[in-house]
Amino acid sequence: MSTYKTLAAGATALALSLTASISLAQLPEHLRDYPLAARSSKGESVAPFFNGWIKNDDGSVTMIFGFANQNREDVVDVPLGANNFIEPAEFDGAQPTHFPIYNRGGFRGISERGAFAITVPAEQADTEVVWTLSSNGETWSVPGRATSSAYEMSREPRALGSLAPAIRFDLDGAESNDQEGIYATPVAAKVGEPVTLSAYIKDRGVREQYPENEMLLYPLGTEWIMHQGPAAPEFEPQHISGRDRAEMGAEGSVDGWTPVQTQATFWEPGNYVVRLRVDNFTAPDSGFDYVCCWSNAYVPVTVSP
């Protein structure tokens, strides 16, 4: 490179640097606090997310929420109350208090989609539902609104017929096939003594008309997650992917319903809610990136000393 080109290149770089510095200095102070840097291992906040809304046949609206724990290592707990609440107050209480770390890579990133959902009655369908979280010195609020088509979602089959899986706690009982989920009969446990949490799961895909599918029903994955509570329990097993379950087989299934369970050990007394997330991510048209296809169900657990 000639001396002229070298000087010109250096001058251009300097000019761009000065321009960037001047532009940064002109920004309001609250917009200068977010440098492009790696996330810290701890001390970062948890941000609430609005994942989308679904218009139901009766005119009601289901609003779906998730979160992002911005720490690389630190799990964050924020009890319900002044630092973790939903307005209007009538919808408060369904949100998590325990925020694990996720690092799924790609578009999925660090966020947890569809951790819970709230259904707003038809007469309140235009209500703004706001989730506020405060942690590590930061406060974030996210509104749930059924006003933007960009956030509208559907319960209809995906591109190759996948639907959110079904979950039941009893074969003849209520069924969950969405992120709002159902609640099991409360379970009693004691500190340090494993207790069995169980459910039945079933793929609901309608894939007969799609020859691209390798199979009509896909094996489901499960994960048991502390949703609310004073201290994280141990789950054994905590997570079984659909691929792992395919190798295990569907032993003990009844009319397509596969029994699943975990042994949960709690280390502190108190009231807990455990979330069971069931997915069919082995199907080609299902995954977190598609915001489909998984369902939630919740188990309340009261732990005594």
Quick: pLDDT tens for 31-75: 555 555 667 888 899 999 999 999 999 999 999 999 999 999 999
Euclidean distance between CA atoms 277 and 115, whole angstroms:
9
The three-class DSSP label of residue 229 is coil
* pLDDT value at 257 more than 50: yes
Compute the C-alpha angle 263/265/270, nearest 5°: 130
Compute the C-alpha angle 256/260/261, nearest 5°: 165
At residue 19, the pLDDT reads 38
Which residues lie closer than 8 Å to 291 by C-beta, 6 or more apart?
51, 52, 64, 113, 114, 153
* pLDDT value at 26 more than 80: no
Structure tokens at 81: 């109350």
Between these two residues, 12 and 164, which has the higher pLDDT value? 164
Which whole-number Å values give the CA distances from 188 to 225, 263, 270, in the listed order?
Answer: 17, 13, 10
At residue 42, the pLDDT reads 87
Q: What confidence category does residue 136 fall into, taking pLDDT thresholds of 50, 70 and 90?
A: very high
At residue 29, the pLDDT reads 63
Quick: pLDDT tens for 190-209: 999 999 999 999 999 999 99
Quick: pLDDT tens for 284-302: 999 887 778 999 999 999 9
The model's pTM: 0.86
Q: What number is the average pLDDT over the span 16-27?
A: 44
Structure tokens at 145: 């609104």
Quick: pLDDT tens for 83-123: 999 999 999 999 999 999 998 876 668 899 999 999 999 99
- Give the whole-number percent of the chain exceeding pLDDT 70: 86
Between these two residues, 55 and 213, which has the higher pLDDT value? 55
